[in-house]
Structure formats: C-alpha cells, structure tokens
Amino acid sequence: MEHTTKKASTKGLLQTEELYQYILETSVYPREPAPLKELRDVTASHPWSLMGTAPDAGQLMTLLLKLVNAKNTIEIGVFTGYSLLLTALTIPDDGKITAIDLSRESYEIGLPVIRKAGVEHKINFVESEALPVLDKLLESHEKQGSFDFAFVDADKVNFWNYHERLMKLVKVGGIVVYDNTLWGGSIVMPEELAPERMRDGRKFTLEFNKLLAADPRIHISHAALGDGITICLRSV
C-alpha cells in the first residue's frame, strides 16, 4: 500500500509582529528582572545586537533552569551575557557557570551589569575555543555527568561536536538548549534563495537538526522562539 505524507496544517498563530509584541509586552517584559532589561538596553546599540538571546527564549530558559534545579551549568557562546546573566540570577548563590567564548571584549560590555547584579562570583569565564575546554572537562571523571544544564549559542559548524561532549558532561535528566536552530527561516528556503551570508550556517543547521531528531539519547522540543531553540533532555 502506497504511503503518502500530507502537508501539515499550520496551527501556530504567531505569524505577525503584532502578536509577538503582544507576548513580549504582556508576559515577558513585565516579568523580566531589571538587570536583564538593563543588559538588553546596553546591548541594543551594539552592531551585532541581534546575536543576543531573545527575551522570550530567555524566559523559557529561566523556567527550564528552575525545573531541573540547576546549580552547575555550561554556556558556550556568551556575547554580552544576557543568557549568562539570566542563568546567574536563577541558580543558587553557590551555583557555578562555566562560560566559554572567544571574545572577552563582548563579555565585558555586559560585565558591569553582571557585577551590579551581584552574581559575578557564580561565573567562571573562559576565553577560548569551546572544544578544548570541553575536552579538558571530560578528562576528569568527576566532571562527567556533573552539569545540570547547558546553553549553546556559538559556531554552527561545531554544534554536533558540542552535543557529543555535552551528552557526557550533562547528567541524565539534565537539559541542553541550542539557539538559532531555525537560522533566520533560511532552513526552509531553496539554497539558491538563501542570502549568501547565511548559506553555510543553513547547511550546518539542517544537518544538526536531522542528527538531533534521530538521537536516541534525548527527548527534544523544537520551539519557534527567537531564531529557533531546540531543547534536549538527556534521557540515557
């Protein structure tokens, strides 16, 4: 019997800028801690401000951190520190974040706000490529399975390399969140119609999404928040 796949009907309503603004103004901004708003304002004038974590995605991350009672976390890709600050504000006072980024310069844009919020002591910022840092952590048996939560917003070419390492570093029942997994919507464009600057990222993102969907070690949810986030719960 021939099997045919019908095109899924569109159930999502978030198809206008007005609806998105409604969510921000009704549910996100009124509950956004003052330090996060300040950091968002500081970042707004940065020429790469779009690299910052979307506030609605950040709100969901805060909820996820609370759900798993996160205390020990990893962040790969920091930029000016919006997601880093929200994590630091959410985890306990004795919690720790291993934050990895190639650029300390960007991190220092948000550092005064982080210090003002009184959470800098929770952050171990490592200026480096991420893979050597993750590999160093994996050398310690005690570090394996010791992290409750990880957030990845970095170079797409290495997303699967990060994932393989995080599956050993994050505990069973822990959560890994990947950002930009819709890549500006370009993943559903014909390659020739995608903007030139987005084509490499589009290719890597398409490959990564397929690999995640087939990974038996995780439960996933692909959400259309910000530029797309994929939430992975390590199950084995």
Residue ranges of domains in the chain, CATH in brackets: 17-234 (3.40.50.150)
Phi-psi region of 86 (alpha: psi -120 to 50; beta: other; left: phi over 0): alpha
pLDDT of residue 14: 62
pLDDT of residue 52: 84
Distance between CA atoms of residues 232 and 101, nearest Å? 22
Per-residue pLDDT of the chain (236 residues; tens, 9 = 90+): 444 445 544 445 466 889 889 999 999 999 999 999 999 999 988 878 778 899 999 999 999 999 999 999 999 999 999 999 999 999 999 999 999 999 999 999 999 999 999 999 999 999 999 999 999 999 999 999 999 999 999 999 999 999 999 999 999 999 999 999 998 888 888 888 778 888 888 899 999 999 999 999 999 999 988 889 999 999 99
Distance between CA atoms of residues 110 and 38, nearest Å? 9
pLDDT of residue 64: 98
Q: In what order do the strands lie in the sheet with 218-223?
A: 123-127, 96-101, 72-76, 147-152, 170-179, 229-234, 218-223
Longest dimension (CA), the chain: 66
pLDDT of residue 2: 43
pLDDT of residue 110: 96
- Locate tokens 């990893």: which residue? 74
pLDDT of residue 175: 98
Q: Are strands 123-127 and 147-152 parallel, antiparallel or unpaired?
A: unpaired
Closest CA to 156 of 183, 186, 185, 135: 183
pLDDT of residue 193: 79
Q: Are 91 and 64 in contact (CB under 8 A)?
A: no
